[in-house]
Chains A and B, each alone.
Chain A
Amino acid sequence: DAKTTQPPSMDCAEGRAANLPCNHSTISGNEYVYWYRQIHSQGPQYIIHGLKNNETNEMASLIITEDRKSSTLILPHATLRDTAVYYCIVISEYGNKLVFGAGTILRVKS
């Protein structure tokens, strides 16, 4: 599975959009991009995933570049409860093991 690179930390003002980048320049054609987050001391929580099209659900939007070498997770109106570590994970279509990196610590501030 391709490796991912994320910034170690980001700050965002409450109510504003949080845009979390992820680089996955070695991604291959059958690999998906998954995003999870982990709020302090809790288990990780699935957010969203995509292959090549942009995706949106009730939690977030996922924008994947046309060459698929990078993606951005967008939390449209960040709240204090969105403060967490966000993990970008690339995994093949039939892979069954998630590999968590260090992730991005997002701090939402009032």
Chain B
Amino acid sequence: DAGITQSPRHKVTETGTPVTLRCHQTENHRYMYWYRQDPGHGLRLIHYSYGVKDTDKGEVSDGYSVSRSKTEDFLLTLESATSSQTSVYFCAIRPAAGGYNEQFFGPGTRLTVL
């Protein structure tokens, strides 16, 4: 158990509403990631963070923003949710820096946008 929690675990929302997903870790690891997973696409990186207030885009960042104001929390915001953002969202942390890419994943958040 790498001490990763995601909240909420399930959410149903309506098109056009903002949504924030939270990833929380207990072990002060530097790197945190947000992925989405859709049928036929595998996991795709949305955004990642390499420290407090240090974030960068992944391959599918449009329509998403992130914030990391403290080490333990990495927030993913859907500014105006669309049906195409219906997905399962996974958070991950990476304990070691430089040359070691073992990532630990959270349990996932299932988001449905109606």
- Interface pair B45/A41, CB less than 8 Å apart: no
Q: Does A76 contact B (CB under 8 A)?
A: no
Q: Which residues of B contact A97 (CB under 8 A)?
A: 33, 45, 48, 58
- Interface pair A102/B42, CB less than 8 Å apart: yes
- Interface pair A94/B58, CB less than 8 Å apart: no
Secondary structure class of chain A's binding surface, majority of residues:
loop
- Interface pair A43/B94, CB less than 8 Å apart: no
Closest to B30 in A: A96
Q: Check A34/B105 contact, CB under 8 A, given A97-B48, A97-B58.
A: no
Q: Does B67 contact A (CB under 8 A)?
A: no
B87 to chain A, nearest CB (A): 13
Closest to B92 in A: A43
Q: Which residues of A contact B (CB under 8 A)?
A: 32, 34, 41-46, 49, 87, 91, 93-103
Q: Which residues of B contact A (CB under 8 A)?
A: 31, 33, 35, 42-45, 48, 50, 58-59, 88, 90, 92, 94, 98-99, 101-108
